[in-house]
């Protein structure tokens, strides 16, 4: 089939991002990936990387010099790129962990000028407050609330790429892709606004790494830290601290103070604060929320970023190992076959439902949508009460 002239021009423009071939690209790996793609054309890059015993970042880097451009990753580059990405308008933001994927299409919010100035001043004055300074480093001028709702941990963002290649729909796909030091995907941002192609091109040109030949340095993932034995924890004090929480956001600090894992906290929680539910309860939750048109919040993260969806869901469906929400501007994919446990949790007067995989890693957390300083919707509380118990 003859290539469309406009498409050919766009592809030629994409290739201009990386004028020189990258010596860092492993030609042998590229060939093995090409063979694997021919054999399994629907295989996702994350699964292909696992099959080839490399990281996703290393696999993507084989395209440097053709469809992939290595971007700067030193200092505050990741934060600055995401700040500039606010100019792209409509995007698809994708965050995933080992057993969940959250995709949201929309326009990110932007901090008003006076708020941004206040943030800059606060950052300047935070130098003697390490915790405050760390928070300010994770502000990217927006992405708080609204359609694209993200919470960053930029310290874990180590590698960045721009990718311009034909998508599965035949259209040219443009994306910014970020990875941690192990080469595991941190976050991906896909352009969904044809009017901003020039903005995307300018962003890539401005943040293009000077050395496209540089070898990609990834490190092996550290082994999971063993849980502290229950006997070594002051359970009575932990339960008292749980009851004294005034905000659900205090929970992570509580875990740090007592040195316990999140799922361990479910086990040691005060009586009545946690009820266990089976992994399949995720279907009950999503199906019933869709049936009632009940607004929910879904939190999905990976250590580098947490993405949040807020709103009403419509279409739920099973597909192989996965249970999915398949709405026009929101997709949630959960590998329920990997789920090991679920919990209905009461903290600071707020009810959530959390699902963990068989390795004890948090996959996804759900809340009912509520206005700040107002009680949570009773319909949400009733939904969680009616979930099957394990």
Residue 24 has what pLDDT? 42
Q: Which residues neighbour 284 within 8 Å (Cβ) at sequence distance 6 or greater? A: 386, 387, 388
Q: Which residues neighbour 377 within 8 Å (Cβ) at sequence distance 6 or greater? A: 294, 295, 368, 369, 370
Closest by alpha carbon to 147, among 193, 180, 79? 193
Is the pLDDT confidence value at 48 over 70?
yes
Cα dihedral sign for 376, 378, 379, 382?
A: positive
Residue indicated by tokens 């009545």: 272
Token reading at 227? 């849980």
205-217 pLDDT, tens digit per residue, is: 999 999 998 889 9
The percent of residues in the chain predicted with pLDDT above 70, rounded, is: 87
Average pLDDT of the segment spanning 353-365: 97
Is the pLDDT confidence value at 125 over 70?
no
290-348 pLDDT, tens digit per residue, is: 999 999 999 999 999 999 999 999 999 999 999 999 999 999 999 999 999 999 999 99
Residue 124 has what pLDDT? 55
Of residues 52 and 20, more confidence is placed in 52
Tell me the CA distances in angstroms from 31 to 26, 37, 47, 52, 59, one per residue in order: 9, 10, 16, 11, 11
Average pLDDT of the segment spanning 120-145: 68
Contact 242, 270 (CB under 8 A): yes
Split at pLDDT 50, 70, 90, the class of 120 is low
Domains of the chain: 1-222 (3.40.1570.10), 230-385 (3.40.1570.10)
Contact 62, 198 (CB under 8 A): no
Token reading at 44? 């996702």
Give the whole-angstrom CA distance, residue 315 versus residue 286: 9
Give the whole-angstrom CA distance, residue 366 versus residue 102: 13
Residue indicated by tokens 């316990």: 260
The secondary structure of residue 233, as a DSSP letter, is: S
Q: Which range among 70-79, 297-306, 334-343, 370-379 shows the weakest confidence by mean pLDDT?
A: 370-379
Contact 313, 330 (CB under 8 A): yes
Tell me the CA distances in angstroms from 69 to 59, 153, 164, 186, 235, one per residue in order: 13, 23, 9, 17, 51
Closest by alpha carbon to 79, among 128, 33, 142, 149? 142
Residue 375 has what pLDDT? 87
């Amino acid at each position: 089939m003859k290539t469309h002239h406009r498409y050919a021009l766009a592809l030629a423009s994409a290739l201009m991002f990386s004028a020189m071939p990258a010596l860092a690209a492993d030609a042998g790996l590229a060939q093995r990936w090409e063979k694997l793609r021919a054999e399994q054309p629907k295989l996702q890059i994350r699964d292909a990387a696992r099959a080839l015993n490399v990281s996703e970042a290393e696999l993507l880097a084989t395209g440097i010099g053709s469809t992939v451009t290595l971007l700067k990753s030193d200092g505050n580059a990741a934060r600055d790129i995401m700040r500039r990405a606010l100019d792209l308008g409509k995007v698809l933001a994708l965050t995933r962990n080992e057993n969940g994927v959250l995709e949201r299409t929309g326009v990110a919010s932007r901090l008003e000028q006076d708020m941004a100035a206040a943030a800059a001043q606060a950052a300047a004055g935070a130098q003697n407050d390490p915790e405050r300074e760390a928070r300010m480093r994770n502000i990217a001028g927006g992405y708080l609330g609204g359609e694209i709702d993200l919470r960053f941990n930029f310290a874990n963002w180590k590698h960045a790429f721009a990718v311009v290649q034909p998508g599965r729909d035949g259209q040219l796909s443009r994306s910014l892709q970020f990875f941690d030091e192990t080469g595991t995907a941190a976050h991906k941002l896909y352009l969904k606004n044809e009017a901003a192609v020039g903005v995307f091109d300018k962003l890539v040109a401005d943040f293009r790494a000077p050395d496209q030949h540089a070898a990609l340095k990834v490190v092996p993932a550290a082994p999971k830290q063993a849980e502290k034995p229950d006997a070594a924890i002051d359970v009575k004090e932990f339960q008292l601290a749980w009851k004294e929480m005034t905000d659900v956001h205090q929970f992570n600090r509580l875990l740090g103070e007592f040195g316990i894992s999140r799922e361990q906290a479910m086990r040691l929680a005060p009586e009545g604060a946690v009820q266990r539910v089976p992994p399949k309860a995720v279907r009950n939750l999503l199906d019933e929320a869709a049936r009632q048109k009940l607004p929910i919040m879904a939190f999905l993260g990976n250590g580098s970023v947490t993405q949040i969806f807020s709103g009403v869901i419509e279409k739920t469906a099973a597909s192989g190992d996965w249970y999915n929400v398949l709405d026009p501007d929101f997709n949630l994919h959960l590998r329920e076959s990997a789920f090991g446990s679920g919990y209905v949790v009461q903290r600071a007067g707020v009810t959530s439902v959390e699902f963990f995989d068989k390795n004890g890693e948090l996959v996804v957390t759900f809340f009912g949508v509520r206005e700040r300083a107002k009680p949570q919707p009773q319909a949400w509380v009733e939904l969680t009460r009616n979930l099957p118990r394990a």
